[in-house]
Chains A and B, each alone.
Chain A
Amino acid sequence: MSRLNRGIGSLLMDYAVPLIFIVISAAAIPLSGFSAAYLVQELLIRVGRNSFLILSLLIPIMAGMGLNFGMVLGAMAGQIGLIFVSDWSIVGIPGIVLAMIVGTPFAVVLGVLCGEVLNRARGQEMVTSYILGFFINGVYQLLVLYFMGWLIPISNPALVLSRGYGIRNAISLTGIRMVLDRLVPLKIGTISVPVATYLVIAAFCFFIVWFRRTKLGQDMRAIGQDMPVADSAGIPVNRTRVIAIVISTVLACYGQIIFLQNMGTLNTYNSHDQAGMFSIAALLIGGASVSRAGIGNVFLGVTLFHLMFIVAPMAGKNLMGQAQIGEYFRVFVSYGIIAIALVLHAWKRFRDRMEARRSLRGPAERREGA
């Protein structure tokens, strides 16, 4: 009986976060007063634009490295690619592909760096990758704000600040705006579906399913389960962990490019920051934990997260008379949800450890009693 109770309890705990979100959204949708068609259209666009970024988080989780806060490194690499492509004014699908090609070497280098750093900070991967994101952000700013247009030639004056060097705050990506989304036009009623983007995402999902079955994928899962055992089984632990981070970083780079082609403008100095936080929050809202995440979590999470994103400001306005409240509520929820998910995970691990200890102690106590 107690085992059954615990089963239900832990099930509830596993899905606590998505359940809370479903309840909040269910309450906020009628308050916001949006029509169903509008919500579906908005969700289709937003899910298409963010899924790829979130999927890039899965592989490090598989390798037991927690949430890769270092994915912002990949996002920065993608933005560097986009800056160059806009400078060379290459438009359409070739522009996107070229941006990916230019971004890849940056992402690989940053990924190797991130992996090496994380190998030196085992057990503290998340906080380290988080601070690394800030650090590389500084280097990125140095590169983009001071070196571009000075050491690195930028020919298009529309990109450069009026002082003669450094890239402008916002770059309009008119040449590649929504080219992927509109590659295969499809309209159902009033709702347009970005088919090509979803095809790319589907291909990526298949890649992840396939990757899990490869030798490398199995190695990563083994490392995620138990590092010392994996090590003694002859798996090159450090190398595999670096590879996991490199894959994640490169994919985050592509994800950011897909994200920005939908947005149509590149906020040179903020876009990547938001990418990291929102992706992680969305994944956790989907019921993923620090040690376990699947493709299902990604789609559930991104849908729920954006549902709230759309309805919260309007609901706040209708409920409190101020849209600003809904706006802050949204920020609060994104951070709060990461906090709650991290706490639940750490707490669960802590309890498991305690239980393991108690089960070792158990028989001895009974002997004393008898």
Chain B
Amino acid sequence: MLKKFIATAGWPRVIIGLFLFALFVAAPFVGVRISTSLSDTLVRFGMNGVMVLALIPMVQAGCGLNFGLPLGIIAGLLGATTSIELGVRGALGFAVAVGLSVPIAAVLGYGYGQLLNRVKGDEMMIATYVGFSSVAFMCMAWLLLPYKNPTMVWGYQGSGLRTTISVNEYWFHILSDFFSFKIGTFYFPTGMFLFFGFMSLLMWLFMKTKTGTAMTAVGSNPEFARASGVNVDRMRIVSVVLSTIFGAIGILVYQQSFGFIQLYMGPFYMALPAVAAILLGGASVNRATIFNVAVGTFLFQGILTMTPSVINSVLKTDMSEVIRIIVSNGMILYALTRKAQVKR
């Protein structure tokens, strides 16, 4: 029974799950408050949830893990900065940011999808480098784009965007504080969860439509899908566009909670935690569900929140960064090596 559970869940997930459980158990003994840790975990869940959700369509359509997520993030950043440049504040400002980034993401995603259709079988490696090179390209663009708003531009030069831009006066916590409540030290960001639920619902509904089903068919067996009259290339492009759009919205949700827009090399490694989270939730390289997203994001963010506070008070050193690197990449490595085993 236990053996079977470990076999289906995979030993890395079991180890990481037990590790997180141990952290929560140990927390009160080393003077870490459970309520604050839990609410931190929930906040970070809300921040990252939509970005992890963005990985589903491409995995389902057989394009693999979207290491090119930074492309979607860039679309989100463009929307966010342009919305601030226009000077729209509050909920409307956030809506404008979303409204601007979605079409940008759709265009970028379409081009990216066209590219990935030409390199079937090598998607993940190319996606990684598409992400990297687009981030590096945008580094030049951030310096040159004609933004004028003084909150965003370097003061002494009068041109070129700052590396971090505060959204404090614009749409800080616009989702998080929507119907949020506090019990003692426990804070629950209701709005972010409602938004995550809404986006999950959209994704779920889409996966149930004809297009969504066809997409899953393409991922499970492209030859069979082609034989039954599905346009394989088109479905793959739809999945990439959808993933890029969700990535763009995801980063906006992240920023409104975090309070800052991080430009330049900020989005560089953002794909890795999202990928690690969905894999931790039980997804594989060719199958992922919304359940995987929810569980994985909670576990992964839980570890990120708990390790600094608990481990630091036990060992008196900050090992969280190293643990994060080992856990997230170990998880990705496990998933990549497992796929080949099944094939054989």
Chain A residues proximal to chain B, CB less than 8 Å? 117, 120-124, 126-128, 130-132, 134-135, 137-139, 141-142, 145-146, 163, 320, 322, 324-325, 328-329, 331-332, 334-336, 338-339, 342-343, 345-347, 349-350
Contact = CB atoms under 8 A, between A and B. Distances in A.
B170 interface: no
A325 B144 contact: yes
Given A131-B333, A335-B129, A350-B121, 9 more contacts: A127-B125, A128-B337, A131-B329, A135-B325, A145-B322, A325-B143, A335-B136, A336-B137, A346-B120
A350 B129 contact: no
A350 B339 CA distance: 22
B275 to A, nearest CB: 9
Nearest to B65: A127
B45 interface: no
A130 B128 contact: yes
Given A329-B140, A335-B129, A335-B132, A137 B124 contact: no
Contacts of B22: none
B337 A141 contact: no
Interface string B128-145: 111011011101100110
> What DSSP secondary structure best describes chain A's contact surface?
helix
A131 B332 contact: yes
B326 A139 contact: yes
- Candidate in A123, A334, A342 with the most chain B CB atoms within 10 angstroms: A342
Interface in B282-330: 317, 319, 321-323, 325-326, 329-330
For the complex of A and B, list the 4 residue pairs with the smallest distance between their C-beta atoms, beginning with the closest: A138-B325, A346-B119, A332-B136, A339-B129
A331 B317 contact: no
A40 B333 CA distance: 43
A121 B340 CA distance: 5
Contacts of B135: 335
Contacts of B321: 141
Contacts of B119: 342-343, 346-347, 350
A128 B336 contact: yes
B136 A138 contact: no
Given A131-B332, A134-B272, A324-B143, A332 B118 contact: no
A141 B322 contact: yes
Contacts of A141: 321-322, 325
Contacts of B340: 120-124
Contacts of B118: 343, 346-347, 350
Given A124-B124, A146-B319, A342-B119, A325 B140 contact: yes
B28 to A, nearest CB: 26
B317 A332 contact: no
Contacts of A334: 136
Contacts of B330: 135, 138
B341 interface: yes
Contact of A117 (B122, B124, B143, B333): B333
A342 B326 contact: no
B52 to A, nearest CB: 17
A127 B333 CA distance: 9
7 contacts: A120-B337, A123-B340, A128-B336, A128-B337, A134-B272, A343-B115, A343-B118
A142 B144 CA distance: 40
A334 B136 CA distance: 9
Contacts of A138: 322-323, 325-326, 329-330
B207 interface: no
B124 to A, nearest CB: 4
B162 to A, nearest CB: 13
Nearest to A120: B337
B128 A127 contact: yes
Contact of A342 (B126, B139, B140, B144): B126
Given A127-B124, A331-B139, A338 B129 contact: yes
A328 B140 contact: yes
B33 to A, nearest CB: 26
Interface string B252-285: 0000000000000000000010000000000000
B217 to A, nearest CB: 21
B74 to A, nearest CB: 13
Contacts of B322: 138, 141-142, 145-146
A132 B67 CA distance: 15
Contacts of A322: 143, 160
A345 B121 CA distance: 12
B30 to A, nearest CB: 19
B136 A137 contact: no
A137 B121 contact: no
- Candidate in A130, A131, A332 with the most chain B CB atoms within 10 angstroms: A131
Nearest to B124: A127
Contacts of A336: 129, 133, 136-137
A134 B329 contact: yes
Nearest to B129: A339
Given A124-B124, A339-B132, A137 B325 contact: yes
A163 B319 CA distance: 14
A120 B115 CA distance: 27
A345 B323 CA distance: 36
B322 to A, nearest CB: 5
A305 B19 CA distance: 45
Interface string B35-54: 00000000000000000000
